[in-house]
Amino acid sequence: MKTRILGSEGLEVSALGLGCMGLTFGYGPATDLSDGIALIRAAHERGITFFDSAEAYGAANEEMLGEAVAPFRDQVVLATKFGFKDGNPAAGLDSSPARIRLVAEQSLKRLKTDVIDLFYQHRIDPNVPIEDVAGTVRDLIAEGKVKHFGMSEAGVANIRRAHAVQPVTALQSEYSMFTRELEDTIIPTLEELNIGLVPFSPLGKGFLTGKIDAGTTFKEGDVRANLPRFQDEAREANANLVKHIGEIAEAKQATPAQVALAWLLAQKPWIVPIPGTTKISRMQENAGGADIELTKADLDALSDLLAKVPVTGERYTPAMQAAIDR
């Protein structure tokens, strides 16, 4: 797989990464340890070198990732995140310097490593000046415990303020053909400052795979059951949009998921999507998206489609959206 560079300090990663959240968090019961390890190792064999975790996904997530990559740790880039009280998103935010340092030490142990390659602030904490957050990560970098600083779902003002203290290597935020709000001000800012973009949910939380329709039901614990975009009427309307994307994919002898990932890769050379899955077959399919070359005609057709058939429903509930910094 081809590689890409994130940020001004030359962090080289595979063009597509693997988001590990769904292995233990957000989409129902956790994956068995052995199955998760097998998936991560199969991804590495396929050329994926960029793996994304977080304290908030539970200790088991980082432990699974650490064990999986131990035989080839020097060949991969590990990203994890801090920013919630006791690592629990439901408990609220905590990016105090003491908390950041504690999370770093715990993550190092769970990942079985002596350095975190990319350490993200998971969400902006309005109670802690962003300069203090960036300064704490800067100190951890100086101590050799962290290599690069990242932010997640941050707005332009906080990105600029943090970047002035410690260069931001990457912003991780939701971006896909289904969620394009970054295009107005965030992406131009990242380009100006030479900050990479790591889109999470690049397949619209599974919608852009073409496998979700009006009859789909979700397992207990699956966050999508409560999201506006996945409610009955919205789901039916959005399935129609994905059907049209599928027609374009079929002409490319590709799947809708592969076209969705290829579309992201075509937007900027410093965009690195991190699709997640629990299945090796889906990981292999997603990885194939890096091999799809979309022509100008393909991109124009997709642009026209997205303009004509808008996405129905918000991506988050109002309470979840309130935690996003714009």
Catalytic residues: 57
Amino acid at 108: L
Provide the token pair at 140.
């951890």
CB 84 within 8 A of CB 55: yes
* Phi, psi dihedral angles at 179 (to 5 degrees): -140, 100
Q: How far apart are CA 100 and CA 133, in angstroms?
A: 8
DSSP structure class, residue 91? G
Q: How far apart are CA 48 and CA 275, in angstroms?
A: 11
Q: Which residues pair with 149 in a beta bridge?
A: 119, 168
Amino acid at 64: M
Give, in order, the Cα–Cα distances in Å from 314 to each of 62, 179, 181, 268. 30, 9, 11, 25
Q: How far apart are CA 61 and CA 43, in angstroms?
A: 16
3-state secondary structure (DSSP) of residue 97: helix
